[in-house]
Structure 1
Amino acid sequence: MLKLYKTLGWAALVVLTHSACTSSKATKKSGTAPSTETTARPKSSESGIKSYSQVITKDAKSDPGLFTIHKVGEKYFYEIPDTLLQRDFLWITRFAELPAGLGGGYVNAGSSVNEQMVVWQRVDNKLLLRTKSYSATAADSLPISLSVKANNYQPTLYAFDIAALSRDSSGYVIDVTKFFLSDVKAISGLSANLRRDYKVNRLDESRSFIASAKSFPMNIEVRQEMTYDASEPPSNSATGSISLVMNQSMVLLPKVPMMPRIDDYRVGYFNIRQIDYGSEALKADEKTYIRRWRLEPKDVEAYKRGELVEPVKPIVYYLDPATPMKLRPYIKAGVEQWQKAFETAGFKNAILAKDPPTPQEDPDFNPEDVRYSVIRYVASTTRNAVGPSVSDPRSGEIIESDIIWYHNHLRSYRNRYLLETGAANPNARTLNTPMEDLGEMMLEVITHEIGHALGLPHNMMASAAYPTDSLRSGKFTQEYGIAATIMDYARYNYVAQPGDKGVRYVRQLGPYDHYSINWGYRYLPNAKTPEQEVPTLSKWIEEKSGNPLYQFGSGNGGHDPYSQTEGIGRDVVKASTYGLNNLKRVAPQLYNWTAAQTNDYEDLSELYDELLGVWSRYIGHVATNVGGVYENRLKPSQPGYIYTAVSSKDQKASMDWLLTHAFTSPEWLHQAKISRNINPANQVESIRSLQVRHLDNLLSSARLARLMENDVNKVGYNVLDMVRQLQNGLWSEVYTGKPIDIYRRNLQKAYLERANYLLNVDPPQPARTFGAQLNLNQSDIRSVIRGELVRLQKQLRSTGSRSKNELTKYHVEDALVRINLILNPEKK
């Protein structure tokens, strides 16, 4: 889940190739890489610089590593080797602990606040910690590099007085206490927006302290507890304070960056971006490189012959010592499931999972050590798992990755398993899901998160790769799974119907995973520059062009019916129909599968709320067809168009489906044993809020703008067709003379409110569609809404007020008043 991809703690097994640091804690004092730069050192007799023994006294507690950290009383000192000045470091700031509600509940422990590259520089008797950016580059040999440096001058985060020289004068001692106890914005957990929202006045240094500082061969980890005075804190308001624990990580980057691989938007990879001012193009050239681990074959000649070869340094994940024993086999299998995909790229044993070493096996093992990548098992009620990584901003090389598994996450998967597959899958019809099934779910979630850590983003188009009815076939699903990649949010097979035999219900690796790993990780020994790789990489893509198994779609924008989160199957209408049929079978059994077994309503309430959410997702999948635009990622050398509107026939049919399944009164959701036992009065409001959400979505400015484009693209289903079909369907009782029930009355009022918004409310910013601004005043949208409201007004006056049902009559009279005020807002 993507949104969010940075985590607490540090671990990395991968030993960086270009570092001379050793792995033993005992040898950490000498574990620094040589530098090609030298700097004239100040003399200890110079003003302000004391002797080493005066600063680092015999009472000092020292921790050798990348820098030696000394604690003397309440002060912390860094002893920085001269060889590490001017070296590139990556500084990552993350939340370690935070108060409830911070950031509206969307920020978690482990969330990254900032990543920046830094260097240490000496100027006279000071050491400067300065940021460094690779977002603007030019080769040092080119004259323009002088301008790049002059016009991209980086700020100094802090200036430290040199307190002393090292014993052998090979380094510098600085006091870092004040730095970590000051409100340095670049490493703070409180953004300007949070400071404004919570009315933060200042950092209270008297209530702030350094909790710990640890040095490892490749990284330094510091934890600070920071307390701020705040007039309106997100929680514990009586204290007038916000306390945070921040984790500051500083990681040494390889002296020689890995050769990067140029990104191609037709294959999904996380990436880094740089502006190359040394390009021969007539403008600054943007270079985009993928994020990936450094994998190089041990035997290049055997690799060239097509043999499977082990990498020089495999990707290794250690399990957290806190991981329950019964879950360990599934977690390790989830990691190593990627081995098959790496074999497609020519590597064997490229990724491994190991139990945590004992102190006897590895006395230096520590999850915070950047040499170790760890799958952390967190005792938290959070229902989530995340798979972030940290990469070298110069090349995209992934340096380290921690996978976070939160203890309660399997509860979410159990619930979805019951709701989405319970109609056809007997194993799912219980709160006590069999361990084998839970283990399979955990295995696949770990595989998904490892995929992120390998550089792969979500590919939401992969769930539309398979024909919908193929998902009802046991033979097909057992071989191909339910989507073409594990990186989609295709969690369960909700298409399978009762009676379908041998069907797979849980996702798995698919053909796209093999394809994308081969594209990103295959070693190309004959290419000496990133540009020399491009012809081969493009050829691989174009060989798969037009094959839905190998297409990529991010799911962003909400316009492509083939690229949606949580969907499966090529035909979204058919898939949602199957899913809805299953949900209608599950709803009447929900009480029997929960409260009747536990003699408690907690699980029933939770699952019923989630059932409403599943129903809403099925609706949303179909709604995307209306005003939908398919996106096919192409380069100019390939035939065809990138954007193609959904056919008129499919858009109209989808609107018919929505009027039948989304906007009618959902009596099947009213289960008396549920609604009358979990809340006093919320059934009508719950349904109203979901229906109105989809109604407003259909009548969004962006969707209406896409429908207007259908006119010029000769699609045949335009904004007037859609609004008229929607309005006629929503107000069908006016034409038939039937009473209007409470669900429909609510929905019709919501329609009028949305019409008023589109006609009379100017958005604070112009609406956007595909990045272009939409001017509502100068578009057909207001003309269509006004015209259709006038038509509705005439119909209501003609037939609507004759109803014998008193509530219906009052509702129609109220609607007429509302319409009059919408059309004549000056009368309000």
Structure 2
Amino acid sequence: MKLKLSIILLFVLVCSLVSAQTTRNVSGLTRHDGFIPFEWDESKGELLFELTPTAMQREFLYFTSLASGVGSTELFADRSTLGERAQLCRFRRVGPKVLLISENTGFRASNGSAELQKSVEASFPTSVLAAMPIVSETNGTLYVNATSLIVRDAFDLVGQFERPLRATNGNIRPVPAGPDAPKWKLDAERSVVDMDHTRAFPLNTEAEALLTFTTDKPGARFNQPDARTLSVRQHHSFMQLPESGYEPRESDPRVGYFGNGFQDFSRPYNQPIERLLINRWRLVRKNPGAALSEPVKPITFYLDRAMPEPIRSAARQGALWWNQAFEQAGFKNALVVEDLPEGADPLDMRYPTIQWTNRSGRGWSVGMVQTDPRTGEILHAIVQLDSHRMRTVHNYWNVLQPPSANAEPDPGIFSELDRADPRLTEDEAMTRRLALLTCHEMGHVLGLDHNFVASTFGRGSVMDYFAPRVKIRADGTADMSDAYMQGVGSYDKFAIEWGYSTLGNEPPAAEAQRLEAVVERWNKQGVFWGNFEDPRWNAYDDGTDPVTWLKQVMPVRDALVKLYTPALMRKGEPWSDFASRYALIYLFHRYGLGAAVNVVGSAKVPPALVGDGNKPFEVWPADQQREALNLLTSALDPRELRIAPEVWSALVPLENRDYADNERFKSPSGYVFSPQDGARAVADVVVGGLLMPRRIERLIAIHTEDANAVGADEVIDALVKRAAADANDPLGEVVQSSVAEQLMALAADETATPETQAAAYRGILASQQAIGTSNPRLANEIERFLRDPKNNTPKPKPSGAPEGPPV
């Protein structure tokens, strides 16, 4: 009887299990087939992933991004902003859940034994991104609730709220928001899967969520309509691994490519464990034997439909300039630009896009890529072009030529550009700049880093930042005909040849030898990539060297200052626009000054390998350092800093507007512009740059090795003498205060070496003697500092100059 009952119970149990695995209630579910098929349960608001046995065994790529943006320059969170890094993932079933595991690709044993690979894998952590409950199972296929994976702050927007971006000396960095800043959190009740943008395709599945963030302490407004609530759409991409056949390329420190870095524990002990595989697209020649061949599959980018004309045509033109460089690598028509298909999503992995990005203020344009973390192969990319850029450039043109007496206002977005240069049309001026901008950002999504030394060999790369090349004609008008570089440069051709050329099926030794020959050939022509520390590494310069560039740009700046008068204003314009444009002219030489500062106490340090013929270290010639120092101190002359009375009286405040203007000086005197503020801005660049602790220590180190070299005392004495020369002038007093206070800050800097602090103290004593009784406030400040440096170190006053690059 017991045996019979047991058999019956066993039969019932087996039938129950079979029924659970072969039947599925699909009522009310909407199914979508694709790489990861999914079903949508409308009644529960749940997204169910279908995971077959095959899907449970395979690895795949996972990317995050933002589908809608915040539109603020305080956050790197614009529409179609890509997440920080790609992730190699897999699914793993554990009991009633399926885990999404992100593999650790930063540590590998690429050519090691299976045992070594397992050892490395077990030595470093993975990341479980989600634990998804199993809803049902049918014939081994699992249906899991993926809602928690999609509806989460995977982009870490809360982290950006806590560390917003700030522009400091032209660099964008996150900084703590402060203890009184609002604290934001994700509101799960108001966050949902957005099925309008969730789709599946054969090679990729795209999912999206509408996320809502809230705060109980409104204070930071990121353009949201309600102060306590901010909602954005976050995107998730799941992609099949690329087909085999892509050949990764190891980086070379003499060519500027971004890359995927990792430690390889299978490398021999006498080789570096760190490896970097460059980021580049897969390009294969149709005709491998031809000197120039079309690719089997070109790199295709799509133009955002929101981009207006003539910018749209300019962007297309600038992007296609790169085909000039690809011909150097043996490819014809390697890059193709098409219109984004109607209804297509730029974040769909199938559509690399050149996008028009809108923000509440002037911001950056960027190029972002999504790569295979195993190989560095670029799979998808987004170029974001800042829509404010045309307005900033418009201001540049707007300050250079007076309006025609009979001119009628032009309501178009390019109005007045024709007045920049009577020999250049408005469309030509703007489209040249936008084409160059697009070409630069396209360089990033082809894998290239910046090359800020390229200005020293004749506009050698679009990956440099060039100041507008402005010349002054004999009649005093501004010549803008060659303002912006058009087409790629010599370095761009070098970099693309090195990164993309291949003969096919070359043995590794032969490939390395061929690539070495490419580097040496270009280097011998004076075409090279720079070291970030090299004094030639400067943004917004445009000369053979920083000293020559400053000598060229100073007269142009002075001429522009004379040209910029209230007569430039048009009837019907707000007078406040005059002040909004003024910084562009007054600080036109800002980057020339900064580049010349970098020469003082410097050495050329190009990336070099032993035996490649490049000098790895060369102190900058002392006579050129002294020439730079003379030019820099002359820029502090009150005659260079002065503002004409008719200009000063036209620098009026904004009308009653509810938004800030980041292009303007922020005057400490409120609505009255302070001339001292302009002088302080120039002094910040020159004095602050020359008295940096590391620069002073470099001067000391170089002078120790060469007694004829420029020393720290020589630089400090030059600043003190310049400050004392015009101490009775109101603007000279600004310079005097800047020099003395920067010296006191340097002397009290605990990170500075004793030698640097000693040089600063000698400068303070010299300043004290030069001041005498002419500046009682500063004399008293120095006296208190000398008695108690720790508690009396002055904090230099900010200049109020616009943050970030004004070009």
Q: How does 1:662-673 map to 2 (within 5 A)?
A: 662-667=636-641, 669-670=643-644, 672-673=646-647
1:544 match: 522
Report the CA distance between 1:247 and its aligned residue: 2.4
Q: Deviations over 1:422-456 (max 9, x none)?
A: 9xx98625999611222222222221111111111
Paired with 2:188 and 2:729, the residues of 1 have a C-alpha distance of 62
Name 2:556's counterpart in structure 1: 582
Partner of 1:163: 135
> Alpha-carbon deviation of 1:602?
4.4
Q: In the superposition, relative to structure 1, how do residues 234 and 151 fare at CA in structure 2: closer, same or farther (>3 Å)?
A: farther
- Verify the 8 A CA contact 1:101 1:234 in the aligned structure 2: no
**Mapped contact 2:258–2:447 kept (Cα < 8 A):** yes
User: Which of 199, 204, 209 matches 1:214?
Assistant: 199
2:269 paired residue among 258, 278, 281: 281
Q: TM-score, normalised by structure 2?
A: 0.81
- Show the counterpart of 1:390: 370
**1:586 Cα offset (Å):** 2.3
Distance change in 2, residues 1:46/1:591 (3 Å): farther
**Residue of structure 1 in register with 2:744 after alignment:** 756
Q: Take 1:131 and 1:431, find their aligned partners in 2: how far apart are those partners?
A: 58
Residue aligned with 2:503, SS: coil
Cα distance in 2 between the residues matched to 1:342 and 1:668:
50
Give the aligned partner of residue 783 of structure 1: 758
8 Å Cα contact 2:108-2:265 kept in structure 1? yes
Q: 1:637 to 1:427 in 2, by over 3 A?
A: farther
Shift, 1:749, TM fit: 1.6
CA contact (8 A) 2:249 2:278 kept: yes
Structure 1, residues 759-813: CA drift from partner, whole Å, max 9, x if none? 2343xxx3xxxxxxxx53xx2112122223223333444xxx4xxxxxxx3x2x3
Q: SS of the counterpart of 1:544?
A: helix
- For residues 434 and 77 of structure 1, do their structure 2 counterparts lie closer, same or farther at Cα, with a shift above 3 Å needed? same
1:293 maps onto 2:263 in alignment: no
Output the amino acid matched with 1:785: A
Please name the residue that 2:145 is paired with.
175
SS of residue in 1 equivalent to 2:607:
coil
1:223 aligns with 2:186: no
CA shift for structure 1 position 280: 1.5
In the alignment, what sits opposite 2:720?
Answer: 727
Instruction: Report the Cα offset of residue 52 of structure 1.
Output: 5.7
What is the alpha-carbon distance in structure 2 between the residues aligned to residue 642 and residue 128 of structure 1? 50
In the other structure, the counterpart of 1:484 is 460
> Aligned in 2, Cα 1:580/1:820: closer, same or farther, shift over 3 Å?
same
Residue of structure 2 equivalent to 1:823: 786
Cα distance, 1:83 vs structure 2: 2.4
How many Å separate the matches in 2 of 1:371 and 1:277?
35
CA displacement at 1:636 relative to structure 2 = 1.0
Q: Indicate the percent of aligned positions where both proteins have the same amino acid.
A: 22
> In the aligned structure 1, how far is the partner of 2:235 from the partner of 2:375?
25
After superposition, the C-alpha distances for 1:361-391 in whole angstroms (9 at most, x for unaligned) are: xxx8543321222222345455443222211
> Which residue does the alignment assign to 2:624?
650
Cα 1:336–1:791 change in 2 (3 A) is closer
Cα distance in structure 1, aligned partners of 2:29 and 2:606: 63
Q: Does 1:699 align with 2:691?
A: yes
Structure 1: which amino acid aligns with 2:786?
Answer: L
Q: Does the CA-based 8 Å contact 2:652-2:672 persist in structure 1?
A: no
In 1, Cα distance between the equivalents of 2:546 and 2:683? Answer: 21
Cα distance between partner residues in 2 of 1:568 and 1:495: 12
* 1:267-278 superposed matches below 5 A: 267-278=255-266
Letter in 1 for 2:450: H
Task: State the shift of 1:61 in Å.
Answer: 2.5
1:481-515: per-residue Cα shift (whole Å, max 9, x none)? xx011111115223676589996322121121111
Q: After superposition, give the CA deviation of every residue in 1:681-710 in whole Å (9 maximum; x if it has no partner).
A: 223243143134221221111111111121
Partner of 1:248: 236
Separation in 2, partners of 1:667, 1:332: 42
**1:634 paired residue number:** 608
The corresponding residue for 1:35 is: none
Equivalent in the alignment of 1:494: 470
CA distance in structure 1 between the aligned counterparts of 2:161 and 2:98, rounded to whole angstroms: 31
Cα drift, residue 575 of structure 1 = 2.2
CA contact (8 A) 1:339 1:351 kept: yes
Q: Structure 1 pair 539/215, CA: closer, same or farther in 2 (3 Å)?
A: same
Q: Where do 5+ consecutive residues of structure 2 fail to align? A: 1-13, 164-175, 403-416, 654-670, 793-807
Matched with 2:406 is: none
In 1, are the aligned partners of 2:587 and 2:682 still within 8 Å (CA)?
Answer: no
RMSD: 3.3
Q: Give, in whole Å, the separation in 2 of the partners of 1:437 and 1:232.
A: 46
Look up the match of 1:23: none
- Where does residue 34 of structure 1 map in the other structure? none
Contact 1:431 1:593 in 2 (8 A): no
One-letter code aligned to 1:413: V
2:71 paired with 1:71: no
- For 1:759-774, what aligned pairs fall within 5 Å after superposition? 759-762=747-750, 766=751
Q: Write out aligned runs for 1:380-779 (5 A).
A: 380-383=359-362, 384-416=364-396, 428-429=420-421, 434-466=426-458, 483-494=459-470, 498=474, 504-508=482-486, 509-529=488-508, 532-548=510-526, 550-553=527-530, 556-557=532-533, 560-591=534-565, 594-596=568-570, 598-639=572-613, 641-667=615-641, 669-670=643-644, 672-673=646-647, 675-679=649-653, 680-694=671-685, 695-714=687-706, 716-733=709-726, 740-762=728-750, 766=751, 775-776=752-753, 779=754
Q: Does 1:343 align with 2:327?
A: yes
Is the partner of 1:624 in helix, strand or coil? helix
For 1:177, the aligned partner's letter is T
Residues 141 and 48 of structure 1: is their aligned pair in 2 closer, same or farther, counting only changes over 3 Å?
Answer: farther
Equivalent AA in structure 2 for residue 720 of structure 1:
D
Shift of 1:328: 3.3
Q: Distance in 2 between matches of 1:62 and 1:497?
A: 69
Taking a change above 3 Å as real, the CA distance of residues 239 and 689 of structure 1, as seen in their structure-2 partners, is: same
- 1:155 Cα offset (Å): 2.3
SS of the equivalent of 1:709 reads: helix
Distance 1:411 1:202 in 2: 35
Residue 88 (structure 2) pairs with residue 117 (structure 1): yes
Letter in structure 2 aligned against 1:191: G
Distance change in 2, residues 1:661/1:52 (3 Å): farther
1:276-309 CA-to-partner distances (Å, cap 9, x unmatched) read 1011125761111111000011122x33xx2x21
CA distance in 2, matches of 1:49, 1:691: 77
In structure 1, C-alpha distance between the alignment counterparts of 2:517 and 2:689, rounded to whole Å: 40
The answer (yes or no) to whether the contact 1:101–1:235 under 8 Å persists in 2 is: no
Distance 1:690 1:264 in 2: 39
> Are the aligned partners of 1:331 and 1:443 in contact in 2 as well (CA < 8 Å)?
yes
Residues 324 and 545 of structure 1: is their aligned pair in 2 closer, same or farther, counting only changes over 3 Å? closer
SS state of the match for residue 129, structure 2? strand
1:189 to 157, 169, 175: 157
Residue 17 (structure 1) aligns with: none
CA distance in 2, matches of 1:753, 1:176: 59
Q: CA deviation at 1:315?
A: 0.7
Question: Which of the numbers 46, 58, 62 marks the counterpart of 2:31?
Answer: 62
- Deviation of 1:399 after TM superposition, in Å, equals 0.3
Return the letter of the residue paired with 1:332: R
Task: Choose the corresponding residue for 1:322, options 280, 300, 306.
Answer: 306
8 Å contact 1:752–1:818 — kept in the other structure? no
Between the aligned partners of 2:639 and 2:480, the Cα distance in structure 1 is 35
2: CA distance between counterparts of 1:117 and 1:417? 48
Quick one: distance in 2 between partners of 1:325 and 1:502? Answer: 22
Secondary structure of 2:50 counterpart: strand
Alpha-carbon distance between aligned partners in 1 of 2:682 and 2:445, rounded to the nearest angstrom: 37
Q: Within 2, Cα distance between the matches of 1:64 and 1:309?
A: 38
Name the CA shift for 1:745/1:398 in 2 (closer, same or farther; >3 Å).
Answer: same
The answer as to whether partners of 2:150 and 2:236 remain within 8 angstroms in 1 is no
Does the aligned pair in 2 maintain the 1:420–1:579 contact within 8 Å? no
Taking a change above 3 Å as real, the CA distance of residues 670 and 574 of structure 1, as seen in their structure-2 partners, is farther
| DSSP-derived class of the 1:261 partner | coil
